[in-house]
Structure 1
Amino acid sequence: MTGLLVVTAVPAEADAVRAGLTDTSVTVAPIGVGPAVAGAATARLLALAEAAGRPYRAVVSAGVAGGFTGRAAVGDTVLGTASIAADLGAESPDGFIAVDDLGMPPALLGGGSVMPADPGLLAALRAALPSATTGPVLTVSTVTGTAASTDELRRRHPEAVAEAMEGYGVAVAAAQAGVPFVELRTISNPIGPRDRDAWRLREALSALTTAAPALR
């Protein structure tokens, strides 16, 4: 069995993780942006490793994220207790209907819209990163950029601490392969009205490098 597989969306995130690693058994791979490409690419990496007789022992979705104000501040490290497909469902006159409530068989959903983190893997990372914020991380296909949509996400997911774009896809791929999964994020911006000038990517990537030694 090989070591840990850490997947990020973009090369800058992968470089930040590698900069903090000394464990050569950890594989870090940038796989693309969004839940679809993240799920497909992770599934391929897991399948190739299994076919070679060297399956990965766990998968981590890592990178930067937006944080909900009052729950995760810029520069914070977040450990996802679950990865939630926050915009997977249907609109209706009465509001958003989550895919779990549409009557579709769970087997077709990869486990539903909520993919819990592996308890053991989460506990190990919490022990290694005691100052990290923990809570659900939302996966979205469109980054939240208005006050109204932020308020709606808060209403529907009152415990969520952050949003990103890949975690749910990676979680589904890991679940299908029977491999433990967890999501690790560092906060680059507050969730809300889009303001790129308020994003602090350098600080978030630096925090990702600081957190990386926990991925042993």
Structure 2
Amino acid sequence: MTVDRQRVERLTRELLEAIGEDPDRPGLKQTPSRMAELYSEFFSGVGEDPAEPLARTISVSRGPAPDTLPSGAVLLRDIRFRSVCEHHLLPFAGHAHIAYLPGEQVVGLGALVRVVEILAARPQVQERLGEQIADTIAEHLDTRGVLVVLDASHGCVTMRGGRQTEASTLTIAARGEYTDAVARAELITLIGASVPLGAAGR
């Protein structure tokens, strides 16, 4: 899906007028076009298939030890992401940490980053974003377990209401073997996050 830039520009002008501003004054004259460009970037994931980056896998049975499956998780830490909260259309941003326990197939690490980027580039809530990342990986990779930890700061918390500028939100989504808190304890330690080990998974 392509963002309708002309419509975004038109609606931005209306919004500026609605708050009592003059969209034609020098400081705001380019704002509608800038907003159209911004929204095209922020919401580029709407309608995009997050599973597509996972289509190309690598067989671990073709390496130097063809009879050996990975015995531990593949863990990718500190994936920077940003999204837009669907409640107030304010940004939230932070880090994603993804672990999966491979079967006979693994995927390039950049593919995991793309899954996060695609799903984050649409109106979101953090809780759902983590679940969607976990579901995409669990359903489209040969994996025995998936763990997704998101740690993010939300504009709706830091810039409005109580304005808790230091607050961040931590969420966990788990699939397969990592729905067991004991099984994921080592990964939580490696991630370095203060995550309650009893947090729910599915």
TM over 0.5: no
Q: TM-score range by the shorter chain?
A: under 0.3
> Relative contact order: is structure 1 or structure 2 higher (C-alpha 8 Å, sep ≥ 6)?
1
TM-score (norm: length of structure 1): 0.25
**Bigger Rg, which one:** 2
